[in-house]
Amino acid sequence: MSPLLELVAVHKAFSPNEPAILRGIDLSLAPGESLALVGESGCGKTTLGKLITDLHQPTAGKVLYKGQDLRTMTKKEYQAYRLKVQMIQQDSFAALNPYKTIFHSLQAAMRKHGFAKDQNEARRKVHGLLADVGLFPTEQFIDKYPHQLSGGQRQRVLIARALSVEPELIVADEPVSMVDVSLRISLLKLLRRMNQKYGISFVYITHDLATARYISDRGKLLVMYLGEVMEVGDIRQATNHSNHPYFRALVAAVPQGVANRQYTVPDLPLKGMDIPDIKQLPTGCIFHPRCIYATEKCHMQKPRLIQQGAAEVACFHLNEIEESFQ
């Protein structure tokens, strides 16, 4: 199946005098497949989300949608891409116009792009969308203003708004981080249901590894550190067996009490908790200042992603590390 989305050797720098915030990112997503993008704050995952939605453009490399480079699309193709790739933001209050009712917020794009021919059809469809995202009874929500809803309800409205233009890919940037903990899993399960029901691909950006596995049962998990990919693999296998020392440390940091935790790796200490300054990137493997397995080679050379079981991992010493746990 040809990819829905591809990133080829993508670099992104915001200033020519500073190191690129993203370096050498390759990524491929099939139609209906989802991706959980995890990493600490400042690792570049939000920037990557904005490159996928073309809110930022790469300094080098390409972003392709259905095999076409965004920069060489015709105007018509680009408009279709912008419609088919939607973004759900973290702050649902800022993302919704406080002076517009939920109906007006949801019907605007629908009417503009011909998904509803008149008000009556738009209203019928908005009722359907609200039902789809679990806002029952829909009559109680459709004419409300954003401030009359809870954070979790507003986030569901944002999901409904993204769905209103029949997208093929939704980029969700920390969509549950501002929602009460008790509601997070139900919102992620809603995204997963939309993936299964409509075949929509999701890119779920999060610093919270514990929630990543709820986004999809078919897809990838990509671990970023300081603007580079450390590990990418099947989401189910990756959350059960991590390879890269950084990913192992992230998994070890997930609280033992998290429901459904199936991780089996022992705790793994880091040399230090401080993330290096992006302006002074370490030589060789960028993780070496924090890695307890770092050798001379790690200081000097940058590891490439290599196949390790079902995953691809950027580390020189995977076999030795694996043996040390046996």
| Residue nearer to ligand SF4 on the CB measure, 106 or 314 | 314
77, containing H or E segment? helix 75-84
Task: Concatenate the DSSP letters of all residues of 221-283 into one string.
Answer: EEEEETTEEEEEEEHHHHHH---SHHHHHHHHTS-TTSTT----PPP---S-SPPPPGGGPPS
| Residue nearer to ligand SF4 on the CB measure, 70 or 286 | 286
- The two tokens of residue 175 are 């969509």
Among 126, 194, 287, 305, binds ligand SF4 (CB under 6 A): 287
Distance from C-alpha of 282 to C-alpha of 270, rounded to nearest angstrom? 16
- The two tokens of residue 228 are 């580079």
| Residue nearer to ligand SF4 on the CB measure, 200 or 314 | 314
Per CB under 6 A, 56 contacts ligand SF4: no
Among 162, 190, 215, 285, binds ligand SF4 (CB under 6 A): 285
Distance from C-alpha of 278 to C-alpha of 182, rounded to nearest angstrom? 35
Q: Shortest gap between Cβ of 40 and ligand SF4 (angstroms)?
A: 15
| Residue nearer to ligand SF4 on the CB measure, 79 or 283 | 283
Q: Shortest gap between Cβ of 321 and ligand SF4 (angstroms)?
A: 7
DSSP class of 146: G
**What SS3 class is residue 288?**
helix
Per CB under 6 A, 225 contacts ligand SF4: no
Stretch that binds ligand SF4, among 18-26, 65-73, 257-265, 311-319 (CB under 6 A): 311-319
Q: Residue 137, preceding bond cis, omega within 30 degrees?
A: yes
Q: Shortest gap between Cβ of 293 and ligand SF4 (angstroms)?
A: 4
How many angstroms from the chain centroid is the CA of residue 94?
20
**What SS3 class is residue 196?**
helix
| Residue nearer to ligand SF4 on the CB measure, 157 or 315 | 315
Give the Cβ contact number of residue 241 at 10 Å. 21
Pick from 279, 282, 301, 283: nearest CA to 21: 279
Pick from 212, 188, 214, 191: nearest CA to 201: 191
Per CB under 6 A, 226 contacts ligand SF4: no
Distance from C-alpha of 34 to C-alpha of 216, rounded to nearest angstrom? 6
Inter-helix orientation angle 102-112/151-163, to 10°? 10
| Residue nearer to ligand SF4 on the CB measure, 158 or 291 | 291
Residue list 245-264, contact with ligand SF4 (CB under 6 A): 245
Stretch that binds ligand SF4, among 43-51, 84-92, 217-225, 281-289 (CB under 6 A): 281-289
| Residue nearer to ligand SF4 on the CB measure, 4 or 285 | 285
| Residue nearer to ligand SF4 on the CB measure, 192 or 288 | 288
Binding-site size, ligand SF4 (CB under 6 A):
12
Residue list 291-310, contact with ligand SF4 (CB under 6 A): 291, 293-294, 298, 303
Per CB under 6 A, 43 contacts ligand SF4: no
Site residues (CB under 6 A) for ligand SF4? 245, 285, 287-288, 291, 293-294, 298, 303, 315-317
